[in-house]
Amino acid sequence: MTRTYLDHASTTPVVAAAVEAMVTQWGTTGNPSSLHASGRGARRVVEESREQLAALLGARPADVIFTSGGTEADNLAIKGSYGARRGDGRSRVVISAIEHHAVLDPARWLASSAGAELVEVGVDPTGRVDLEALSRAIDDRTAVVSVMWANNEIGTVQPMAELVEVAHRAGIWAHSDAVQAVGHLPVDFAASGLDLLTVNAHKLGGPVGVGALLARREIGLQPVQHGGGQERDVRSGTLDVAGVAGFAAALQLAVTNQVAERERLESLRAGLLAAVLAAAPDAVVHGPSDPAQRLPGVLNVELPGCSSDALLLLLDAAGIDCSTGSACTAGVAEPSHVLLALGRTERQAGSALRFSLGHTSTRADVDALAAALPEVLSRARAFGGVAG
């Protein structure tokens, strides 16, 4: 069976340029922290990749801290900010209610285990953060504010400039998880005014296991792990030279093709939506209707009378890969915290699917969903709807 992959927001296939860059490095040996010639060669690759990433993201090379991925970068941003600033009496952490678990869970851990006061700011029915509520949540006791640039489940893009302005008026460090945004939207670290920004390789055609936290050099983050201090004495661990090179190559391609790819994905998304509405006219689309306020390749739809788990399994049997939400929480029998934050009930949230497009997506993928969905919906409704 030929499979149709509609889960690019979870991970997307590695691009050829990244494979080539990694294969080249896998054929060489050298720890980038070693002083001999082989080590210096590895260090040169790391630093050239750092410079490339910085240039593509509007940052200084010294701002780029390589990590093992987005989760580590988010943990470093949230825990490192709190640890650095709580000595100044700043013990509050403010996040949006629809953050990825890589931000949500570290923030909740700080509240339960490290004495932090956590405030989760609500969003409107399209997923946009309530700026007035954000302003009320922050004061001179706040260490860091974290709001994701674009949501992984519903695609909502946040008004970053306004959010940063609100934070900086109170002298608060501003962080954004931009894992879903980078490569799909214009992301300029310096222009955004952010103090911290998370990026990841495998969401844009690079390898799994490498990411970066962009952190203004002036910020003295507290390390969350200790060892060799390879990255600014903030992040320890031997760097994956091949992964870093693949990350830079993938980001270069994604940024170069960004405008044309956005238009292409918007067209394919429109086709997906038409296919869903043809099969289920009562479907509810989550997220903004304005293309300027959402990611081009994410479509989250609620299909009344169906269980999202049943839909997922039936589509899987039909050769179509999609998601019930964040891949990090797949398999957990709980409604999406993102959809609940929009005001959906548990029953409604339990009827939602996410289809996400990427660089390998084609019209054939849209046609495959259109062909399979009517029968899948019929069978899912025969199984019965969501309990509750």
What are the strands, taking DSSP E only, across the chain? 4-5, 64-67, 92-96, 117-121, 142-146, 173-177, 196-200, 211-215, 284-286, 298-302, 320-321, 352-356
Burial 118-144 (b: 16+ CB within 10 A, else e): bbbbebeebbbbeeebbeebbeeebbb
Q: Is 40 left (phi over 0), alpha (psi -120 to 50) or beta?
A: alpha
Looking at the DSSP assignment, which residues form a beta bridge with residue 216? Answer: none
**297 CB neighbour count, 10 Å cutoff:** 26
Which residue has 């910085």 as its token pair? 54
Residue 33, Cβ density class (10 Å: 0-12 exposed, 13-18 middle, ≥19 buried)? middle
Active site residue 306: no
Could you tell me if 156 and 127 are in contact, meaning their C-beta atoms sit under 8 angstroms apart? yes
**63 CB neighbour count, 10 Å cutoff:** 25
Burial 200-236 (b: 16+ CB within 10 A, else e): bbbbbbbbebbbbbbbbeebebebbeeeeebbbebbe
Residue 155, Cβ density class (10 Å: 0-12 exposed, 13-18 middle, ≥19 buried)? buried
- As given in the structure block, the two tokens for residue 117 are 């006061």
Distance from chain centroid for Cα 362: 23
Question: Which of 328, 340, 370, 371 is flagged as catalytic?
Answer: 328
Which residues are the active-site residues?
328
